[in-house]
């Protein structure tokens, strides 16, 4: 079956530091890959996505590249802000008639200090 | 903007009670989902529905049932609540996806934090 593994958290950084959150996956077929973010007290929001190999998703300064050869979709940001403090989830959607089900990683808590 | 509304933000129930968690979306989406979120486990799919009166088990359906009588409403039911069902419950919806279309994102509600004592 499908699975997603994220790096262990929590991650604590100072403002303007470089961020990497690792994500690897196992899936059959041609999955689409997503990063969702959950700010305190809120539901999840889509941050970025990539639907085929070598695609790069980007949004709000965050980037992730779909690497089929390493089955990875690592999230990066060059300079984090305090407002980026949140929980980040990597997810995949399998191909075929999956009705849009997503398989999520365990989530990584990011805290950014001024 | 898509709005997914979960009726309660916090709920406290006793062991053995029947519990209803309600979710309503306002964008005429066909697909709706119930996940539970637990620390260290991420989100796990309980049930989903791809159309009115249609439902499918997710990865952890035991102890839960669902109801989808109208397109906009998807209810999660705990027939007899137990302490191991204490969790954050997240509802989500999305537009129907054609067989190879995978671009439509999930839209989530803000969650219901259920405590079973």
> For residue B4, what pLDDT band results from cuts at 50, 70 and 90?
very high
Whole-number Cα distances in Å, A51 to A32, B97, B108: 4, 14, 20
Do the Cβ atoms of A2 and A27 come closer than 8 Å?
yes
Strand partners, A23: A6
User: pLDDT of A53-98, one tens digit each?
Assistant: 999 999 999 999 999 999 999 999 999 999 999 999 999 987 655 5
Is A10 in the B-facing interface, judged by CB distances under 8 Å? Answer: no
Pairing of strands A56-59, A23-26: unpaired
Instruction: Report phi then psi at A113, rounded to 5.
Output: -100, 145
Query: Would you say how long chain A is, in residues?
Result: 114
Cis previous bond, B114, omega within 30: no
Strand partners, A110: A11, A86
Whole-number Cα distances in Å, B114 to B9, B18, B21, B45: 8, 12, 9, 16
Cα–Cα nearest to A12, from A108, A98, A93: A108
Is A57 in the B-facing interface, judged by CB distances under 8 Å? Answer: no
User: pLDDT of B70-112, one tens digit each?
Assistant: 999 999 999 999 999 999 999 999 887 655 445 678 899 999 9
What is residue A96's predicted lDDT score, i.e. its pLDDT? Answer: 58
- Flag if A49 and B94 touch (Cβ within 8 Å): no
CA count, 13 A, side-chain hemisphere, A50? 22
Q: For a pLDDT cut of 90, what percent of chain B falls above it? A: 75
Within 8 A of A42 by CB-CB distance, chain B residues are 110-111
What is residue B97's predicted lDDT score, i.e. its pLDDT? Answer: 60
Mean pLDDT of B38-65: 93
What is residue A97's predicted lDDT score, i.e. its pLDDT? Answer: 55
Instruction: Report phi then psi at B3, rounded to 5.
Output: -125, 125
- Flag if A44 and B110 touch (Cβ within 8 Å): no
> For residue A28, what pLDDT band results from cuts at 50, 70 and 90?
confident
């Amino acid at each position: 079956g499908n699975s997603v593994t994220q790096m262990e958290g929590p991650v604590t950084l100072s403002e303007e530091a470089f961020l990497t959150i690792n994500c690897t996956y196992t899936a059959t077929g041609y999955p689409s890959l997503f990063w969702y973010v959950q700010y305190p007290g809120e539901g999840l929001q889509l941050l970025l996505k990539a639907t085929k190999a070598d695609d790069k998703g980007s949004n709000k300064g965050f980037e992730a590249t779909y690497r089929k050869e390493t089955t990875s979709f690592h999230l990066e940001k060059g300079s984090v802000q305090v407002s980026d403090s949140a929980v980040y989830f990597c997810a995949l959607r399998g191909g075929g008639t999956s009705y849009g089900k997503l398989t999520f990683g365990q989530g990584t808590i990011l805290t950014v200090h001024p | 903007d898509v709005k997914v509304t979960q009726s309660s933000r916090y709920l406290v129930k006793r062991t053995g009670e029947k519990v209803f968690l309600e979710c309503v979306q306002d964008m005429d989406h066909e697909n709706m989902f119930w996940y539970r979120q637990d620390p260290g486990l991420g989100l796990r799919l309980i049930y989903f529905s791809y159309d009115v009166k249609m439902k499918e088990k997710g990865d952890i359906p035991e102890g839960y049932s669902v109801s989808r009588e109208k397109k906009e409403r998807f209810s999660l039911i705990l027939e007899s609540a137990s302490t191991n069902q204490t969790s954050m419950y997240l509802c989500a919806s999305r537009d129907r996806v054609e067989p190879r279309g995978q671009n439509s994102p999930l839209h989530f509600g803000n969650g219901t934090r259920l405590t079973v004592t």
